[in-house]
Structures are given as structure tokens and as C-alpha cells.
């Protein structure tokens, strides 16, 4: 095995039924039910305004090089979200119009890159989720090495191939399949509580927010 230079062509993906549970759920609500610590670094944001839900297909690239990204496109399956660890570098784009359209043809559900993209005007008009940390006109090199479908870090969060990916205008979270149903059920409960508060606001013009006053009492707040 070549350390730091390998392509793992396939991996175990969670049942699509489990992944589909997260359609329509907001990243903020999911992160609330993951200790509010699991969202990626805020600079990785949407360039197309599209939400994404799918299965992580991971790629690790060296600084400013996308040889392994281009090779990996051969193994992408429908519903995969391509998650790229490009080291967070923003001085050289590793994705652009050509690679994005290749990914679309391969059936990818979206692309998330902890690095830079280019052709941003074209990408912004696509009906396809693209997230990146920044923009640079400098194109990539094609030298390698790199790795495909290994554990990576994206936006400060560990990502394994097969993790469930949810991204929207607020940010991105990665959910381990073994925790997915618990996260989903807790998030639904959170949404139901919020809907009850909003209904109360609509009907009475105010919200009880009992926990606020309990916490203020705990910290000894003086109300004059």
C-alpha cells in the first residue's frame, strides 16, 4: 500500500431510507441535538443556495492539486456527496465547472470542499449543491498524491465514508449512521417544542419561556 496515495473504490453506505429522514431538516436544528459542536467551520458555505442530503464520499487532496478528485469521479454513486479535504487552502481552486459537471453526470448529490473553487458565476447558476471555503482563479495541478474514501477532516470535523451529510444555507453537519436515528428523533422533538412556542406566540402575543426564568434564578440575576 502506498501511504497517502490510495483509492478505495467502494464502502458501506447506509440505507437510503435512513438518509432520506433528514430531507427538509435544518442544519441548525440538527446541530442543536449534537451538542451544538458538530457543524463545520462557518467559512465553508453554499455557492448555489441549494440544500444537500446524502452519503459522504471522501477525498483528501494535497495543496492545490485535484488529480485524485478527477480519478475519484469514476467511483461516485448516485446519492453520494463528494466531501473534499483540501487542507483549507484558498489560494488555488481544486473544483470548477468541468469537475462539477462531471460529478453531476456521475449522480453525485453535491460537493463540499474545505478549499477553493473557481468558475463561481457558472456554478452559482447550477441546480446543484456546491459548498466551498473560498474562491480563487488559480487552477489546480494534476500531480497527486491523495486519497479516496478514507477518514478526512472537513471544516474542523471528522468525516468517514458513509456518514450522512446535511448541508443548507446555515452550514453543514456529518452524522454517523449508528447515531442517525437518535439525532433524527431528537431533532423532531425539538421542532415540535419550537412549533408549540411559536403557536403560543401567535395566540397570546408572548412566550412563556420557562427555562429562561429558571436559568436566571439559578445564576442569581437581579431584575429591577
102 with 54, same domain: the answer is yes
CA distance linking residue 29 with residue 89, whole number of Å:
29
- Is 107 contained in some domain? yes
- Per the structure, the complete domain to which residue 208 belongs is given by 182-218
For residue 223, is it within any domain? no
If DSSP codes are grouped into helix, strand and coil, which group holds residue 17?
A: helix
Does residue 20 surpass a pLDDT of 80?
yes
Q: Can you give the pLDDT at residue 70?
A: 97
| Gyration radius of the chain's alpha carbons | 20
Contacts of residue 44, defined as CB under 8 A and 6 or more positions apart, other chains included, come to: 112, 113, 114, 131, 132, 133, 154, 155, 171, 172
- With respect to residue 75, please indicate whether it lies within any of the assigned structural domains: yes
Predicted local confidence at residue 208, as pLDDT:
82
Say whether both 197 and 115 belong to one domain. Answer: no
In a domain, 155, yes or no: yes
**How far is Cα 98 from Cα 181, in angstroms, rounded to an integer?**
36
The tally of domains found in the chain comes to 2
% of the chain beyond a pLDDT of 90: 90
Residues 209 and 132 in one domain: no
Do 205 and 98 reside in the same domain of the chain?
no
pLDDT at 1: 65
pLDDT tens, 169-223?
999 999 999 999 999 999 999 999 888 888 888 888 887 888 899 999 999 999 9
pLDDT at 26: 97
Provide the whole-model pTM: 0.94
* CATH code (residue 20): 3.50.30.40
Give the whole-angstrom CA distance, residue 123 versus residue 97.
6
Same domain for 197 and 165: no
Dist CA 50 CA 54 (whole Å): 13
Q: What is the pLDDT of residues 54-110, one digit of tens each?
A: 999 999 999 999 999 999 999 999 999 999 999 999 999 999 999 999 999 999 999
Amino acid at each position: 500500500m502506498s501511504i497517502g496515495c490510495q483509492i478505495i473504490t467502494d464502502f458501506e453506505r447506509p440505507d437510503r431510507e435512513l438518509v432520506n429522514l433528514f430531507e427538509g431538516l435544518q442544519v441548525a436544528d440538527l446541530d442543536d441535538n449534537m451538542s451544538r459542536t458538530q457543524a463545520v467551520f462557518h467559512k465553508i458555505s453554499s455557492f448555489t443556495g441549494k440544500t444537500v442530503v446524502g452519503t459522504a464520499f471522501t477525498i483528501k487532496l494535497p495543496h492545490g492539486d485535484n488529480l485524485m478528485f478527477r480519478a475519484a469521479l469514476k467511483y461516485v454513486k448516485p446519492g453520494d456527496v463528494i466531501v473534499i479535504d483540501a487542507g483549507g487552502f484558498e489560494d488555488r481552486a481544486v473544483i470548477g465547472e468541468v469537475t462539477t459537471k462531471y460529478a453531476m453526470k456521475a449522480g453525485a448529490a453535491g460537493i463540499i470542499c474545505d478549499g477553493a473553487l473557481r468558475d463561481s458565476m457558472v456554478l452559482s447558476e447550477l441546480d446543484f449543491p456546491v459548498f466551498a471555503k473560498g474562491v480563487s482563479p488559480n487552477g489546480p495541478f494534476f500531480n497527486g498524491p491523495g486519497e479516496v474514501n478514507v477518514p478526512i477532516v472537513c471544516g474542523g470535523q471528522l468525516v468517514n465514508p458513509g456518514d450522512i451529510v446535511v448541508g443548507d444555507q446555515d452550514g453543514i453537519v456529518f452524522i454517523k449512521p449508528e447515531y442517525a436515528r437518535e439525532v433524527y428523533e431528537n431533532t423532531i422533538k425539538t421542532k415540535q417544542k419550537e412549533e408549540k412556542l411559536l403557536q403560543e406566540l401567535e395566540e397570546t402575543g408572548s412566550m412563556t419561556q420557562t427555562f429562561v426564568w429558571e436559568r436566571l434564578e439559578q445564576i442569581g440575576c437581579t431584575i429591577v
